[in-house]
Amino acid sequence: MATEDIIELGTAEKDQRLRDIASLARLVSYARQNARELNAEFSVYCLDLALGALLQDLAESGINLPVEGTIEDASIGLVH
């Protein structure tokens, strides 16, 4: 169980956490696109997993982003 699960975060802290996760998602998305352009297949795969995890974190926080085309190459069942 994470510390955040035990300690109730204030609204400002929650907002900052969501902004930080969204920033990470943008960074990973940018890196993934560059890896794809370089044909670095394993890096693209790993970044797909990372992006999927970040999007799941955002979804669990109540923010649902459209993911069409975001992780289209991920194998079925690997990214939730």
* pTM of the model as a whole: 0.66
Domain that holds residue 73: 11-80
- Asked if residue 75 belongs to a domain, the reply is yes
- Asked if residue 47 belongs to a domain, the reply is yes
Which phi and psi (to 5°) does residue 72 adopt? Answer: -65, -20
- Asked if residue 72 belongs to a domain, the reply is yes
Residue 27 above 90 pLDDT?
A: yes
- Asked if residue 29 belongs to a domain, the reply is yes
Residue 40 above 60 pLDDT?
A: yes
Q: How many domains does the chain have?
A: 1
Which phi and psi (to 5°) does residue 48 adopt? Answer: -60, -45
- Asked if residue 21 belongs to a domain, the reply is yes
The mean per-residue pLDDT over the stretch 23-32 comes to 96
13's torsion region: left (phi>0), alpha (psi -120 to 50) or beta? alpha
**What is the distance of C-alpha 79 from the center of its chain?**
10
Residue 4 above 90 pLDDT?
A: no
- Asked if residue 65 belongs to a domain, the reply is yes
- Asked if residue 5 belongs to a domain, the reply is no
